[in-house]
Amino acid sequence: MQGLSERQYAARVGLSRGAIQKAKEAGRLVLFADGSIDAEASDQRRAAMTDPAKSRAAPRASAALKPKLKPVPEAAVASVGETLREEGLAAPVTGGGTTFLQAKTANEVLKAQERRIRLQKLKGELVDRARAETLMFRLAREERDAWTTWPARVAALMASELAAALGAEVTVEAALMQKVLEAHVRAQLDSLAEIRTGLG
């Protein structure tokens, strides 16, 4: 026999013979022509095909058999940490590695958030941000235009009301009233322009 039997390979990797038979049926083992198991090639194939979250702790394998993992970009690690912190879950320590479970949890959280947003859009609870900003800008401009034309519309009326209230000996010119009102309205609009309304 070129390689190991099911029983020998099961003892080598610390699994039951039944688990080895299932792995063999699933194509996770490499076999020689005589049907025996190529141990080293099978170790590598099993490591590549097994989800770490679902695997049981295996006995210490030699460093040569461990698959080489690509480094994870810092931006991806930071994104995982941010997503977990937003949901009040344990995030990786700065400078520390992200575990597979943390990354998988963050992925599930993001998928749930995406589904919630899609559902809110379908229900009409969310609006397009660009459209909302355009509507806010148009409303603010209409308000400003209404206030800038207001002094011209009410100045004469206010001047006559003041003259009536103060008595016949006092006259209030409509043009002067309009000028004073315009100055105060402009000052008020300038102070309101400093308020920045953002959508987050």
Q: The domain containing residue 24 runs over which residues?
A: 6-65
pLDDT band at 16 (very low <50, low <70, confident <90, very high): very high
Residue 52 has pLDDT above 90, yes or no: no
pTM: 0.34
Residue 14 inside a domain? The answer is yes
Residue 180 inside a domain? The answer is yes
Angle CA(150)–CA(156)–CA(160) in degrees, nearest 5?
135
Counting residues of the chain whose pLDDT is more than 70, the rounded percentage is: 73
Residue 31 has pLDDT above 50, yes or no: yes
Residue 38 has pLDDT above 90, yes or no: yes
Are 11 and 56 in a shared domain? Answer: yes
| 151-165: average pLDDT | 86
Q: Helix, strand, or coil here: 49?
A: helix
Sequence-distant (≥ 6) Cβ neighbours of residue 80 within 8 angstroms: 91, 92, 98, 102, 103, 106
Considering 65, 91, 106, which residue would you say is the last residue of a domain? 65
Cα separations in angstroms, 154 against 65, 70, 149: 88, 73, 9
DSSP code of 36? -
What CA–CA distance (Å, rounded) separates 33 from 140? 79
Are 135 and 189 in a shared domain? Answer: yes
Residue 101 near residue 53, CB atoms below 8 Å:
yes
Residue 199 inside a domain? The answer is no
Residue 200 inside a domain? The answer is no
Q: pLDDT, tens digit, for every residue of 118-157? A: 777 777 776 777 888 888 889 888 988 899 999 988 888 8
